Structure formats: C-alpha cells, structure tokens
C-alpha cells in the first residue's frame, strides 16, 4: 500500500511525527502497526499507528537505528510503501468504565488512538505517561485536548510527578490497565497493578510482521506466540512475568 508523506516533523529530541495520506481501511483497532519499506534497507520497519481517519494516519517514531534514521530524512510529498493493519491491537470492549492507560516514552503514541477509541466506546480513561525529562515530552497537549485526566511523570523530576509511571499509580489499583512502553516499564506496571487482567503491548525485532517467519516468537502461558501476529497486544494472564 502506498502512502504520501504530508508531514515528517521533529516533535522532541530524536522523535518525529509522520502524517501519511492513503488507504486506512485495513486498520481495525488501536495498537495495530504498519511495516514501512525504506530506501536501501532490505527489511521493513514496524511502526505503531498513533491515530488514523479515513484519509490517512499519523505515526510517531523515535530514531533508534538505520531504518528510523532513513525515515526521518524522508520529505513531504515522498511516497512510502507500507503493509498496514498488522497485529491484533487493543480490545476496548474488554475493560470496565474507568480504565487506566499507561505509556512510556515512544510507547505512548498508540495509546493516543486507544484513548480516543475508549472515549468513543463510552469509557472514562485516566492517562499516565512517562518520559525521562521535560524536553522529551510529546503528545501531552493532544491528550489534554481529549478532556481526559492526564498525569505526566519524568524520571528527573523536571515536569509533573518525579519518577516512573508506576510512581503515579495507586498501590493495588484494581482498574483495568492498557499499557505500552519499554519492557522494564511494562513489567513494573504488571507488578504494581492490582487488576488480574489488562492489555500490554510488546515489541520485538521482526522480519515479516505478519506471522510467517517466526522471528519474534515469545513463550506465553498458553504456548509460543508471535509478537507480530498474535500480539503485539497481550493479555496480562498470557504473560510469563
């Protein structure tokens, strides 16, 4: 599927917002991802969908290697080839009326689309997003524009609550959790949450992104699963943490 770049702008250190125009009819749930083809690189790169409508979609990515570096240099008007609508995404109907949405750093983007979907489903989510420092914060205005309660944590205390996202969670809080972020953050949230279930989005190095190569397999309580196809969103009860 071809997408035209409307905007590819830096919104925080090493973090870019990419607005793409093109077919989004294959997107079924927040938390799904696309696999972007980049010039000169053999494998596609998986990037989560931040938000979408019928005309296009927004991705937010961090430059972490060759692929994202190449993506950051692509200009408005250029065409990107992407496999879209990959992965299972979050199920917004699985939670009660007051879910907790928890994101860390570059794991935050898919939670924006998720929060919008939760609101559409009549839920009243509370959002906690964590960053290292004040200058690394992004998407805060957009979350606040959704009129949901948002708590920001920074590891260095330069903004909001000092510490990690778990420092903004009530001990043994039994609210349903939707989470996305680095593995240590997800494991910490998993431990602190008092809810026996919840949905946690993982990442892994992958080749195909659609379940064929077995490159991103993970052991779960219910046998081996593919992060790309059976995930990236897993139920808390599946995870062997």
Partner 1 sequence: MNLSVNLCGLRLDNPVIPASGCFGYGKEFSEFYDINCLGSFSFKGTTLSPRFGNPTPRIAETPGGMLNAVGLQNPGVEHVIAHELPEMKAYFHKPVIANVSGFSIEEYVETCQLLDAQEQVGILEVNVSCPNVHGGGMAFGTSAQSAAAVTKAVKAVTKKPVFVKLSPNVNDIVSIAKACEDAGADGLSLINTLLGMRIDLKTRRPILANTMGGLSGPAVFPVALRMVYQVYRAVKIPLMGMGGVSSARDVIEMMLAGATAVQVGAANLVNPFACKEIIEQLPVEMEKLGISSLEEIIGMAGA
Sign of torsion, CA 146 147 153 154?
Answer: positive
How many Cα atoms within 13 Å fall on the side-chain side of residue 117?
Answer: 24
Nearer residue to partner 1 within complex by CB, 161 or 218: 218
In the complex, what is the shortest distance from the CB of residue 205 to partner 1, in angstroms, rounded to a whole number? 4
The structure tokens listed for 235 are 């139920």
Nearer to partner 1, 72 or 151 (CB): 72
CB atoms within 10 A of CB 137: 22
In which region does residue 122 sit, left (phi positive, over 0), alpha (psi from -120 to 50) or beta (all else)? left
Smallest distance from the beta carbon of 42 to partner 1, in angstroms? 6
Q: Closer to partner 1 at the Cβ: 13 or 224?
A: 224
Measured from the CB atom, the residue of 64 and 121 that comes closer to partner 1 is: 64
Min separation Cβ 217 and partner 1, Å: 6
39 binds partner 1 per the rule CB under 8 A: no
Q: Is 71 in the site for partner 1 (CB under 8 A)?
A: no
Strand order in the sheet with 150-154: 161-162, 150-154, 126-131, 100-104, 177-180, 199-201, 233-235
In the list 41, 70, 146, 148, the residue contacting partner 1 (rule: CB under 8 A) is 41
44 binds partner 1 (CB under 8 A): yes
Q: 145 CB contacts (<8 Å, ≥6 apart)?
A: none
Q: How far is the CB of 207 from partner 1 (least distance, A)?
A: 5
Strands 79-86 and 56-62, sheet pairing:
unpaired
Which of 1, 6, 43, 140 is the binder for partner 1 (CB under 8 A)? 43
Q: Which one among 95, 206, 233, 239 touches partner 1, defined by CB under 8 A?
A: 206
Compute the distance between CA of residue 227 and CA of residue 230 in angstroms, rounded to an integer.
6
What is the contact surface with partner 1 in residues (CB under 8 A)?
Answer: 37, 40-44, 66, 83, 204-208, 210-219, 224, 229
């Amino acid at each position: 599927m071809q997408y035209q770049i409307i905007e590819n702008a830096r919104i925080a250190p090493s973090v870019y917002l990419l607005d793409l125009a093109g077919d989004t009819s294959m997107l079924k749930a927040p938390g799904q991802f696309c696999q972007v083809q980049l010039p000169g690189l053999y494998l596609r790169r998986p990037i989560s969908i931040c938000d979408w409508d019928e005309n296009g979609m927004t991705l937010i990515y961090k430059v972490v290697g060759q692929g994202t570096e190449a993506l950051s240099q692509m200009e408005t008007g250029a065409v990107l080839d992407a496999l879209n609508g990959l992965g299972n995404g979050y199920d917004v109907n699985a939670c009660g009326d007051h879910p907790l949405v928890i994101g860390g750093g570059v794991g935050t983007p898919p939670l924006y689309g998720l929060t919008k979907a939760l609101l559409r489903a009549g839920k009243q989510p509370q959002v906690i997003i964590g960053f290292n420092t004040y200058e690394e914060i992004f998407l805060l205005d957009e979350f606040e524009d959704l009129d949901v309660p948002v708590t920001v944590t920074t590891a260095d205390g330069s903004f909001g609550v000092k510490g990690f996202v778990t420092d903004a969670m009530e001990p043994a809080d039994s609210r349903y959790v939707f989470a996305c972020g680095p593995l240590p953050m997800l494991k910490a949230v998993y431990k602190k949450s008092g809810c026996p279930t919840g949905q946690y989005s993982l990442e892994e190095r992958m080749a195909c992104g659609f379940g064929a190569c077995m490159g991103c397999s993970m052991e779960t309580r219910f046998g081996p699963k593919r992060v790309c196809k059976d995930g990236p969103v897993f139920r808390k009860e599946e995870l062997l943490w």
